[in-house]
Amino acid sequence: MTDFHLWAPRAHCMRLRVGQNDDVPMTRGDDGWWSASAAAPDGADYGYLLDDSDDLLPDPRSRRQPYGIQGASRVYDQDRFSWTDHGWTGRDLAGAVIYELHIGTFSRGGTFDDAIALLDHLVELGITHVEVLPINAVNGVWNWGYDSVGWYAVHEPLGGPDAFKRFVDACHARGLAVVLDVVYNHVGPGAEFLSDFAPYLTSGRSTWGELINLAEPPVRRFIIDNALMWLRDYHVDGLRLDAVHALIDPRRPHLLAELSAEVEGLSDEVGRPLPLIAESDLNDPVMIEPRADGGYGMDAQWDDDVHHALHAMLTGERQGYYCDFGSLAVFAKVCRAAFMHDGTYSTFRGRVHGRPIDPERTAGFRFVVCLQNHDQVGNRAAGERLPELTSPGRVRIGAVLLLSLPFTPMLFMGEEWAASTRWPFFTSHPQPELAAATGPGRIEEFAEHGWDVAAMPDPQDPATFADAKLDWTELDDAGHAGMLELYRRLIALRAAEPELSDGDLTAVAVDYDEQRSWLVLHRGTLRVVVNLADQTQRVPLTGTSGVAQTLVATGDATAVDGGLELAREVAAIVRTT
């Protein structure tokens, strides 16, 4: 017999249906929890019948949804998989290089098993952590993953739960840690049945829909149990928590503090690090401050200000949220302070934003930074990658800077070879009204960013999804292969030279000349020297007696008295004396 439990305080009566068997009445317990037992072996389909309705509803905690998010759930034996990673002890976030990928577009086949065949590429690149975009059950067949509905189920078109376990197991066999992107701040289209059961949602709206009702203890437990499931049952090594600023929590301690405490306990139990990485728009170090000091105890947070500083400096874009970025002075500030807006006025927001970190107490590796990611590429109207927006020389400069900063670098899939494939927003909502509204909704979102909405492909067009898949044949092209070799050299250099991965923010300094468009990033005895100008020029190296060795150069770089002469749009990493 299998025990079933369901939180449904809004129901007057509940029935359980397993396969084609007669319905089993459920018993209501305290706090709106219903329970029943039935013969339901692994692989049996089941669902719930609410009050007098004969419409089968899925289990909110379903481990499998083989018929889609609104179809019957399926019993899944979590312990039947044969793991081979018994000696895996995990990887620390300090010194990490993260690679963000979307399973559906990483390979031509778009499944976990197809992705396994490409993992050796990541090992040869020097990646330590693979960050997988959300894999939960969503409306339709293909999706970014952020429209999650079945939070406990692995999306079947990607391969289902066993295939995800094979992927994690294969990563561990190659020394790769797996970070899973999870979404707890909203539910996607098709989740209306949750409100029929219980108050999962509350009044008020975030960017994406109704707010998650964190005032309800069972909802909080629903989230925490889900996080623990991925880490424990799927052997995932860490979680990236999407848009935590949209978690409006009236209770104390904050949900994130509760979550970090329980994950810390699980980490002690399994004997490996389980980092939590928050995506936060707040620019507030409370995310990574210790719980004992009133913080939330996250291990790291995404740092969009570093991305904005790099992107605006390299492309010249100043629209939307880039309006306060782009100068060398801003880049110099974020290298040491992590945030540009740390109590300063944000023109885009129209208010003072952020709070400063304490660089003497905060290690740089606790900030995850990037040149590109799914948001910054996919939330452009046309989904353009960086190589479409600036010159090849500046793209290479960006790579050098990203992998020389005192933060944790993250690459977006294909970035390492300057992939030409765009990665726009795509969906496959089967409901005609929802499908028709998706495109106009995106256009409305883009209005304040200044994107060319005329270039936006239809998110519902199957070709939009197909065209977003990486073209691995590009690696046969000399230009793409050359970029890949640069990334390999930079990642290897970062691993070999402790000064490049040193997270001591107090030891970082930047010299720059705004008018002449050059900068020098100080990394111990190493200097990262950049010429952004469109002509050759000499860049002074203060505080040194000269260049002892050029470790990497993206173009002509010649040591001269007191400095380095660089060709136009060239970066070099040198060891100084």
Which of 99, 106, 101 shows the shortest CA–CA distance to 465? Answer: 106
Ordered structural domains, the chain, with CATH: 2-57 (2.60.40.10), 91-133+152-302 (3.20.20.80), 505-576 (2.60.40.1180)
Q: 255-270 and 217-233 helices cross at what angle (nearest 10)? A: 30
| 304 assigned binding-site residue | yes
- Each of the 577 residues of the chain gets a pLDDT tens digit; together they read 899 999 999 999 999 999 988 899 999 998 899 999 999 999 999 999 999 899 999 999 999 999 999 999 999 999 999 999 999 999 999 999 999 999 999 999 999 999 999 999 999 999 999 999 999 999 999 999 999 999 999 999 999 999 999 999 999 999 999 999 999 999 999 999 999 999 999 977 666 777 899 999 999 999 999 999 999 999 999 999 999 999 999 999 999 999 999 999 999 999 999 999 999 999 999 999 999 999 999 999 999 999 999 999 999 999 999 999 999 999 999 999 999 999 999 999 999 999 999 999 999 999 999 999 999 999 999 999 999 999 999 999 999 999 999 999 999 999 999 999 999 999 999 998 888 888 777 777 676 666 677 789 999 999 999 999 999 999 999 999 999 999 999 999 999 999 999 999 999 999 999 999 999 999 999 999 999 999 999 999 998 988 989 999 999 999 999 899 999 999 999 999 9
| 243 assigned binding-site residue | yes
- Taking only Cα atoms into account, the Rg of the chain, rounded to an integer number of angstroms, comes to 25
- Find the distance separating the first CA and the last CA of the chain, reported in whole Å: 73
| 86 assigned binding-site residue | no
What pTM was estimated for this model as a whole?
0.97
| 191 assigned binding-site residue | no
45-67 core/surface letters (b: 16 or more CB in 10 A; e: else):
bbbbbbeeeeebbbbbbbbbbbe
Phi-psi region of 302 (alpha: psi -120 to 50; beta: other; left: phi over 0): beta
Beta-carbon neighbour count of residue 28 at 10 Å? 15
Check: CB of residue 107 under 8 Å from CB of residue 136.
no
Nearest 5°: phi and psi at 154?
-85, 130
| 149 assigned binding-site residue | no
| 374 assigned binding-site residue | yes
Residues 6+ apart with CB under 8 A from 71: 58, 65
Q: How many angstroms separate the most distant Cα atoms in the chain?
A: 88
DSSP label at residue 26: P
Positive or negative, the CA dihedral 52, 56, 60, 63 is positive
Q: Would you please indicate which residues are annotated as catalytic (active-site) residues?
A: 242, 279
| 225 assigned binding-site residue | no
| 114 assigned binding-site residue | no
Helices (H) and strands (E) in the chain, counts: 15, 29
Q: How far is CA 572 from CA 90, 310, 403, 516, in A?
A: 33, 17, 12, 17
- Residue 527 CA to residue 102 CA, distance in Å, equals 35
| 177 assigned binding-site residue | no
Long-range CB pairs of 462-467, under 8 A, 24+ apart, other chains included: 462/428, 464/424, 464/425, 464/426, 465/104, 465/105, 465/142, 465/426, 465/428, 467/421, 467/422
Which of 178, 183, 113, 102 shows the shortest CA–CA distance to 142? Answer: 102
